[in-house]
Amino acid sequence: MRRIEMIGELEKVANLNIPKDLASEEANKYLIDACARFDVKCPPPQPTARLLDKLVGEFLEVTCVNPTFIINHPEIMSPLAKWHRSNSVLTEIFELFINKDELCNAYTELNDPVVQRQRFADQLKDRQSGDDEAMALDETFCNALEYGLAPTGGWGLGIDRLAMLFTDSQNIKEVILFPAMRPQDDPASVKASLQAEN
């Protein structure tokens, strides 16, 4: 099965030379310029993690027709994953892609409360600047980590993703039995419901 290292493969495919310190302002500016050069849409806010994700989607994910593991994500993109054993700026994580869609996500769980709290604080800065995908500070989780967490792995593979793969669906809404619905008191949703019934 194909395995590709996220940053190395992105640099090779897109002919980039991404600065090594991804937390730096220089790296952020470089990635903003790369997105502009390749016409990759990433509306503000533009934290480094989002810019990288957009570039990976544009250059790597589209090549993952046959089962492919994208491995070794940068720490800046993986706030819950443990650092890589041989390269501390990476994390032990993989995403499995089939037919250009992410099927599952798995990682070695970070179990150091001090590092986890710092990563949450870093994510909180991005969240406060408007990035809805950045994680909030979860002090309860950090307190639980202080009591101890054995080496653990996270694995995310939903039945919805499998259904998308088996039915060749392009949108997760096509396979969810009970899709998210608007509240009944929303006039637009009431009007849309009435029109759908007629």
Alpha-helical segments (H) within the chain: 6-14, 25-37, 48-59, 113-128, 139-147, 159-167, 187-197
pTM of the model: 0.79
For residue 191, the model assigns a pLDDT of 60
For residue 193, the model assigns a pLDDT of 56
For residue 30, the model assigns a pLDDT of 97
Beta strand 68-71 with 2-5 is parallel
Low-confidence ranges of the chain (pLDDT < 50): none
For residue 21, the model assigns a pLDDT of 93
DSSP per-residue letters across 49-105:
HHHHHHHHHHHTGGG--S-EEEE--BGGG-TTBPBPSS-TTBBSEEEEEETTEEEEE
